[in-house]
Amino acid sequence: MLIGAVDVTAPTLHELMRREIPVSWYTGGGWFLGHTTGTGHRNVELRTAQYRASFDPVFCLRFARGLVASKLRNGRTLLRRNWRGEPAGYTGDGPSGESSRAPDAVLGGLQRAARAAAEAKDLSELLGVEGNGGAIYFGGFGATLSSEAAGVGGFDFRNRNRRPPTDPVNALLSFLYALLVRELNVILSAVGFDSYRGFYHQPRYGRPALALDIMEPFRPLIADSAVLTAINNGEVKPGDFVYAGRACALGPSGRKKVIAAFERRLGQEITHPLFGYRLSYRRLLEVQARLLGRHLMGEIAELPAIEPR
């Protein structure tokens, strides 16, 4: 992944293409421009199965239900493991006069949202459930930040906002989601998928819908976790961000630090729920993409959910 005015010689690009290692190009501001790749995967049968399934509303709804339910359960696990706010059982008023920041209320709300996602009758209802679950999740996300970071550290988090993000925590979340989409886009293309045709996210010009689909359960596991680590360990500082009007973005020094935190998270190992062996998150993403291919080809009944406890 190359950000800004970086030169790569033609012989180097040729060797990268021979080894099927894609190069992703970004502007100095972090906007994605494109990939330099080789000839790509030649598994036309897999893409045919993908396109066929993408036009099946029953398959799309069933598949999307699983993605959203896993995302909400993984978000619940992240909050439960990293909560730094009031202790469990707290029922005092939150900042808006509600008890929504109490762990029992937040965790219970996410649990109910995950059950509702698994029972959604159509994609529009599922979108509503996901939005409600996201509001609950991000309503408690600020309580996972250390008091030092949220106070004098300048990383106070109130709510999720984007396009553009207006504070450092939201800038980190947006940047890491972009990195995760890029990672999955490359993996899906290498396995043989068309990353622009998804099942939950609707097709739109330039949108890597399938990468966005597969990313959903991994947002809390990889991106949000890397944000918490970078902030709570003091790896990123308020001086690593730049402002333009209402918008907040990472500066060059901040991007380097956050990319390093993201790469460390991708390198951490987890036990695969189906195979039982240890593998890194980066390898897990590839295995998940290959299992999706086997599912679409009818070789396995369903795509296994990745939900660490």
Specify whether the CB–CB gap between 192 and 47 falls below 8 A: yes
Burial class (CB in 10 A: 0-12, 13-18, 19+), 259: middle
258 in the same domain as 246 = yes
Give the pLDDT confidence of 33-57 residue by residue, as tens digits: 777 777 666 678 889 999 999 999 9
292 in the same domain as 146 = yes
In the chain, the N- to C-terminal Cα span, in Å, equals 32
16 in the same domain as 139 = no
Q: What is the CATH number of the domain that holds 76?
A: 1.20.120.920
- What pLDDT sits at residue 223? 93
Is residue 277 included in any domain, yes or no?
yes
57 in the same domain as 10 = no
Task: Find the domain containing 6 and state its range.
Answer: 1-40
Is residue 175 included in any domain, yes or no?
yes
243 in the same domain as 98 = yes
Is residue 15 included in any domain, yes or no?
yes
Is residue 152 included in any domain, yes or no?
yes
Query: Residue 245 gets which letter from DSSP?
Result: T
240 in the same domain as 163 = yes
Is residue 278 included in any domain, yes or no?
yes
32 in the same domain as 72 = no
Give the pLDDT confidence of 270-308 residue by residue, as tens digits: 888 778 888 999 999 999 999 999 999 989 988 888 888
15 in the same domain as 74 = no
264 in the same domain as 248 = yes
- What pLDDT sits at residue 42? 67
287 in the same domain as 276 = yes
Is residue 308 included in any domain, yes or no?
no
202 in the same domain as 66 = yes
In one-letter notation, the amino acid at residue 63 is F
Taking only Cα atoms into account, the Rg of the chain, rounded to an integer number of angstroms, comes to 20
Give the pLDDT confidence of 19-33 residue by residue, as tens digits: 877 788 877 766 777
- What pLDDT sits at residue 87? 47
Burial class (CB in 10 A: 0-12, 13-18, 19+), 53: middle
Give CA–CA dist 49/293, Å, rounded: 8
Three-state SS annotation for 186-223: HHHHHHCCCCCCCCCCCCCCCCCHHHHHHHCCHHHHHH
Cα–Cα separations (whole angstroms), residue 184 to 1, 62, 140, 146, 260: 13, 21, 27, 30, 18
pTM equals 0.82
Per the structure, the count of domains in the chain is: 2
33 in the same domain as 50 = no
> In a 3-state reduction of DSSP, which class is residue 109?
helix
- Which of 73, 50, 87, 121 is closest to 289 using CA atoms? 50
Evaluate the CA torsion angle 116, 122, 127, 132 in order and state its sign. negative
Give the pLDDT confidence of 3-17 residue by residue, as tens digits: 888 889 999 988 888
Angle, nearest 10°, between helix axes 57-82 and 123-141? 10
Is residue 305 included in any domain, yes or no?
no
Give the pLDDT confidence of 108-118 residue by residue, as tens digits: 889 999 999 98
Evaluate the CA torsion angle 119, 123, 125, 127 in order and state its sign. positive
Is residue 301 included in any domain, yes or no?
no
User: Is it the case that residue 101 has pLDDT exceeding 60?
Assistant: no
